[in-house]
């Protein structure tokens, strides 16, 4: 008896997974309201009273640093009549968080400090009226929040993914010392595509030779579409003659302190589910944050991180420009696909070629199916 050979192709998710509001809402409930979600970097909230506001699932979440230096997260919703406490994307609240509607005031640890006309309510217990807390944890300077009742340790969630990408060599990741880096540049992109189309794109390089001429000039392995599926734990080497990951390829910036010879002139990229993409490079680190807005709309924040001395002493424009080009090329490609997710041609999905199957078809879809409780059924 002969065994049938494995199928050459695997399917993508059916088209409606990229277009239906019902699927989008289910993702917000089953993924973004249950799992750890990347919110910001600790450096984005550098001092007491500073805050960042993020959307997580259906909730509006405030990340704020207290007078004790501790970062905390709360629902950004006044306990009185539900006003949004901080409408700006980021900023400074000062000594307390004051509601703009009737002026209830909360301490930076979330407890209720005062409310106008409190003497008529003095029988109430202020301890019951603090802001609703949200779980927050930091991982090497990356701040993640979770709306789950009892989330698992954040480190377990992230190391499982980093181990898969880096061959379980944790020191390799730690050498980049993400917590010590600061943003030298940030660009916000609005992308007319479903968040999963963007992440699928970031997890395959079958397209690199076609749409990323500058990238494949820098990393020739990305041009080689005959290579095996899956990640290369040792990263991807720069081309001969390319001293850095930049448009000119010249080594303009000092290397990150702490890296070893093995890290020189190498690139590691990885999705940290559900909404982060990390790029490790010899002289900088790039962090993408994906924010699903609608089935066909995602905002992407991209930050280029460097040691403070590099930002203070060097022009980082040449370095920033390379991945900015890659971003624009990727986002244009995903926007070209999005309208056709509704086509009858895509009703049962598209095709994953062998090169795309290990990371998207198994690693990413297995997680998605489990998170959405789909079983094998799509
Ligand atoms: S809604 Fe905030 S004080 Fe009334
Ligand atoms: Fe790409």
Q: Is residue 3 included in any domain, yes or no?
A: no
Q: Is residue 339 included in any domain, yes or no?
A: yes
Give the domain CATH number at 55.
Answer: 2.102.10.10
pLDDT digits (tens, 9 = 90+) for 353-373: 999 999 999 999 999 999 999
Ligand 1, atom 3, lies closest to the CA of: 102
Nearest atom in ligand 1 to the alpha carbon of residue 115 is 3
Examine the domain organization and report whether 204 and 129 are in the same domain: no
Nearest atom in ligand 1 to the alpha carbon of residue 78 is 2
Ligand nearest to the CA of 200: 2
**Residue 376 — pLDDT band, cuts 50, 70, 90?**
low
For residue 151, report the distance from its CA to the centre of ligand 1, in Å: 30
Examine the domain organization and report whether 146 and 165 are in the same domain: no
pLDDT at 1 over 70: no
Ligand nearest to the CA of 129: 1
For residue 84, report the distance from its CA to the centre of ligand 1, in Å: 9
For residue 265, report the distance from its CA to the centre of ligand 2, in Å: 19
Structural domain of 324: 8-31+159-373
Q: Is residue 343 included in any domain, yes or no?
A: yes
Candidate from 62, 79, 80 with most ligand 1 atoms within 8 A of CB, to mutate: 80
> Taking CB atoms and a 6 Å cutoff, what residues make up the pocket around ligand 1?
78, 80-83, 99, 101-104
Residue with tokens 């991982």: 139
Q: What is the pLDDT of residue 225?
A: 73
Ligand 1, atom 1, lies closest to the CA of: 81
Examine the domain organization and report whether 101 and 169 are in the same domain: no
Examine the domain organization and report whether 232 and 132 are in the same domain: no
Please check whether residue 64 is in contact with residue 49, taking contact to mean a CB–CB distance below 8 angstroms.
yes
Nearest atom in ligand 1 to the alpha carbon of residue 83 is 1
CA atoms within 13 A on the CB side of 118: 13
Ligand 1, atom 4, lies closest to the CA of: 102
For residue 359, report the distance from its CA to the centre of ligand 2, in Å: 15
Examine the domain organization and report whether 26 and 42 are in the same domain: no
Examine the domain organization and report whether 369 and 225 are in the same domain: yes
**What's the pTM value of the predicted model, to 2 decimals?**
0.96
Q: Is residue 122 included in any domain, yes or no?
A: yes
Instruction: Write down the mean pLDDT value for the chain.
Output: 95
For residue 36, report the distance from its CA to the centre of ligand 2, in Å: 25
**Residue 126 — pLDDT band, cuts 50, 70, 90?**
very high
Among 132, 150, 168, the domain-final residue is 150
pLDDT digits (tens, 9 = 90+) for 265-293: 999 999 999 999 999 999 999 999 999 99
Between CA 94 and CA 114 the distance in angstroms is 15
Q: Is residue 1 included in any domain, yes or no?
A: no
Q: Is residue 2 included in any domain, yes or no?
A: no
Among 119, 150, 181, the domain-final residue is 150
Q: Domains in the chain: how many in total?
A: 2
Examine the domain organization and report whether 339 and 221 are in the same domain: yes
Examine the domain organization and report whether 21 and 94 are in the same domain: no
pLDDT digits (tens, 9 = 90+) for 147-178: 999 999 999 999 999 999 999 899 999 999 99
Nearest atom in ligand 1 to the alpha carbon of residue 79 is 2
Between CA 80 and CA 219 the distance in angstroms is 55
Examine the domain organization and report whether 82 and 193 are in the same domain: no
Residues 220-248: what's their mean pLDDT? Answer: 87
Among 123, 150, 177, the domain-final residue is 150
Give the domain CATH number at 336.
Answer: 3.90.380.10
Examine the domain organization and report whether 142 and 266 are in the same domain: no
Candidate from 79, 93, 104, 112 with most ligand 1 atoms within 8 A of CB, to mutate: 104
Q: Is residue 228 included in any domain, yes or no?
A: yes
For residue 63, report the distance from its CA to the centre of ligand 1, in Å: 19
Q: Is residue 329 included in any domain, yes or no?
A: yes
β-pair partners for 188: 301
Ligand nearest to the CA of 99: 1
Examine the domain organization and report whether 88 and 233 are in the same domain: no
DSSP states of 91-140 as a string? EE-TTSEE-TTT--EE-TTS-EEE-TTGGGGTTS-GGGSSPPEEEEEEET
Ligand nearest to the CA of 104: 1
Q: What is the pLDDT of residue 4?
A: 76
Ligand nearest to the CA of 329: 2
* Strand arrangement, sheet containing 266-272: 182-191, 297-306, 285-294, 276-280, 266-272, 236-237
For residue 64, report the distance from its CA to the centre of ligand 2, in Å: 34
**Residue 59 — pLDDT band, cuts 50, 70, 90?**
very high
Examine the domain organization and report whether 239 and 286 are in the same domain: yes
pLDDT digits (tens, 9 = 90+) for 307-352: 999 999 999 999 999 999 999 999 999 999 999 999 999 999 999 9
Q: What is the pLDDT of residue 231?
A: 81
Please check whether residue 99 is in contact with residue 78, taking contact to mean a CB–CB distance below 8 angstroms.
yes
Residues 187-213: what's their mean pLDDT? Answer: 97
Which tokens hold the place of 176?
Answer: 């980049």
User: What's the angle, vertex CA 65, arms to CA 36 and CA 56, rounded to 5?
Assistant: 30
For residue 270, report the distance from its CA to the centre of ligand 2, in Å: 12
């Amino acid at each position: 008896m002969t065994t049938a050979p494995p199928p050459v192709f695997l399917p993508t998710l059916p088209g409606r997974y990229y277009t239906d509001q019902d699927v989008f809402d289910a993702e917000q409930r089953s993924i973004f309201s249950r799992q750890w979600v990347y919110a910001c970097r600790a450096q984005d909230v550098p001092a007491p009273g500073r805050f960042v506001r993020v959307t997580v699932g259906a909730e509006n979440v405030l990340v704020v640093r207290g007078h004790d230096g501790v970062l905390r997260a709360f629902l950004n919703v006044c306990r009185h009549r539900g006003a949004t406490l901080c409408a700006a994307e980021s900023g400074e609240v000062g000594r307390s968080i004051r509601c703009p509607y009737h002026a209830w005031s909360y301490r930076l640890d979330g407890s209720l400090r005062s409310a106008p006309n409190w003497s008529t309510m003095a029988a109430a217990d202020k301890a019951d009226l603090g802001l609703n807390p949200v779980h927050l944890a930091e991982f090497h300077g990356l701040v993640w929040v979770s709306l789950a009742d009892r989330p698992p340790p954040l480190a377990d969630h992230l190391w499982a993914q980093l181990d898969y990408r880096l061959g379980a060599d944790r020191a390799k990741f730690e050498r980049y010392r993400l917590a010590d880096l600061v943003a030298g540049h940030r660009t916000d992109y609005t992308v007319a595509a479903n968040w999963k189309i963007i992440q699928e794109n970031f997890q395959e390089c079958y397209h690199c030779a076609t749409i990323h001429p500058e990238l494949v000039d820098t990393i020739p392995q990305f041009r080689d579409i005959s290579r095996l599926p899956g990640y290369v734990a040792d990263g991807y080497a720069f081309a001969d003659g390319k001293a850095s990951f930049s448009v000119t390829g010249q080594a303009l910036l000092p290397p990150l302190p702490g890296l070893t010879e093995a890290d020189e002139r190498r690139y590691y990229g990885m999705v940290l589910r559900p909404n982060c993409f990390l790029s490790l490079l010899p002289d900088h680190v790039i962090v993408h944050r994906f924010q699903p807005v609608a089935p066909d709309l995602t905002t992407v924040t991209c930050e280029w991180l460097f040691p403070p001395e590099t930002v203070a002493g060097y022009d980082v424009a040449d370095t920033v420009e390379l991945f900015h080009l890659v971003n624009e090329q990727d986002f244009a490609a995903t926007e070209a696909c999005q309208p056709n997710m509704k086509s009858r041609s895509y009703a049962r999905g598209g095709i994953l070629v062998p090169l795309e199957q290990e990371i998207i078809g198994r690693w990413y879809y297995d997680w998605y199916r489990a998170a959405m409780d789909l079983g094998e059924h799509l």
